[in-house]
Amino acid sequence: MNFLLKSEQFPFPEDESIFFNLLKALALWTEKTNDQSVVMMASSICSLIFNLTSENDLLNHAGFSSSCLDSLSRLVARSLASWGQGMSDAAKADMDLLEIVIAGYSRWAARFPQIRKAVEG
């Protein structure tokens, strides 16, 4: 995550498939978990990767399916659902991760209409 947070300081590889594979892994890992810390960590990593790409790029990449994008949409929506609600102590502990997701969402939501629809719908 630190690498992604400081992305402007590091040259990124031309081959974005590394990030697309990471997104797929995060989507699968979090699909059935109820652990809010896992959801927040995965969502914040995804949010940082989304800064580097777009929905169209993801869907045009071989091996990246629309069902994976659906899973990522649910992941981001789940993480943002805790924003503004009465927060548990566990959610408060993940506030820095939530802030990464919120800030990222404001930057890339226009490039990810399916995720925006899941969050706002």
* 4-18, 39-53, 87-101: least confidently modelled range: 4-18
Q: How large is the average pLDDT for residues 86-93?
A: 60
| Domain presence at residue 51 | yes
Residue 77, pLDDT > 90, answer: yes
pLDDT for res 62: 86
Based on the structure, what is the number of domains in the chain?
1
Question: Per the domain annotation, does 57 fall within a domain?
Answer: yes
Is 81 contained in some domain?
Answer: yes
Residue 16: inside a domain, yes or no?
Answer: no
One-letter amino acid identity for 81?
A
| Residue pLDDT, tens place only, 27-73 | 999 998 988 899 999 999 999 999 988 999 999 988 899 999 999 99
Q: Which domain holds residue 55?
A: 34-120
Which residues, in sequence order, are CB contacts of 37 under 8 Å at separation 6+?
Answer: 90, 93, 94
Q: Is 1 a domain residue?
A: no
DSSP sequence for the chain = -HHHHTGGGSPPPS-THHHHHHHHHHHHHHTT---HHHHHHHHHHHHHHHTT--HHHHHTSTT--HHHHHHHHHHHHHHHHTTTSPPPHHHHHTHHHHHHHHHHHHHHGGG-HHHHHHHH-
Residue 60 covered by a domain: yes
Does 113 fall in a domain? Answer: yes
Structural domain contains residue 6: no
